[in-house]
Amino acid sequence: MTSVPKELDPAEIPPNCQPIITVRGLRNAFGEQVIHNDLNLTVCRGEILGVVGGSGTGKSVLLRSIIGLQTPETGEIDVLGENMVGRTEDEAKNIRRRWGILFQNGALFSTLTVAENVEVPIREYFPFIKPPLLDEIASYKIAMGGLPPDAGPKYPSELSGGMVKRAGLARALALDPELLFLDEPTAGLDPIAAAAFDQLIKSLQERLDLTVFLITHDLDTLHAICDRIAVIADQKVIAVGTIPELLALDHPWIQEYFNGPRGRAAAENYKEGATA
């Protein structure tokens, strides 16, 4: 195991950090197969944290554990100051109201239009909000997600891949969340759409003061919008930090990931973009 400097150790809370998600000693296993063992991670308020790792290292399982879809074997998970493990449905509801989740394939309800999809969480938590206010809220959320106004009355099967993601994002933003979970938001998008989606996330994060927990394989996304990056390998988060900080480590996976041909190309692009 490579030694990690203290400031990149995931168990440490960075200075000036107001923790919004804290994971301590998480262990997840499916039968004999251990996914996470003694995993630690802290997400600070107002940051965009990117989570990277090879396929099958349990990025999505980590997300599912944090949002309560997967009960861990052991470990502590605090989200927005509340302990997530072993909560009842009713207690969890109050926290669910304060986050939004964009699933990898959008997970839009296929029998509802985009606007109705956005209205689902609002109707569930605030049944007293009625049309026309309700419809107007859905409509500006759709615009916020970067969709044209005529997308509202469309069904998910009529949308392209990029539009499905934007509609999913609009639904995730429906309740004005403090915390946004994104599972591979740019996977399956063309580079132009992916770059536009990155910028959309960044601008929403600034405007709405969001904290973003983002799982991605997309090196461009990491360079363009992530404040810190958590690397999952060997069943735990091996380091958390900015890209230059991570590059200073001599862990083979991190080196290969950021210094491989694709990693270098993304870094070049980003440097050019920043100077231009």
Residues at the contact surface with other proteins, assessed by CB under 8 A:
110-111, 113, 115-116, 119, 122, 126, 128-133, 135-144, 149-150, 152-157, 175-176, 207-208
Question: Which residue from 249, 244, 241 is spatially nearest to 3, judged by alpha carbons?
Answer: 249
| Residues in the chain, total | 276
Q: Which is nearer to other proteins, 130 or 264 (CB)?
A: 130
Counting beta carbons within 10 angstroms of the beta carbon of residue 177, is it exposed (0 to 12), middle (13 to 18) or buried (19 or more)? buried
Handedness of CA 136, 137, 140, 146 (dihedral sign): negative
Cα separation, 231 vs 249, in Å, equals: 12
Nearest-approach distance from CB 130 to other proteins, in angstroms: 7
- At 135 the three-state DSSP class reads helix
Give the shortest CB-120-to-other proteins separation in angstroms.
12
> Which CB, 30 or 140, lies closer to other proteins?
140
Query: Do residues 152 and 119 make contact, with C-beta atoms less than 8 angstroms apart?
Result: no
- Residue 116 or 220: which CB sits closer to other proteins? 116
State the nearest-atom distance from the C-beta of 60 to other proteins, in Å: 20
| Least gap, CB of 63 to other proteins (angstroms) | 23
Nearer to other proteins, 91 or 268 (CB): 91
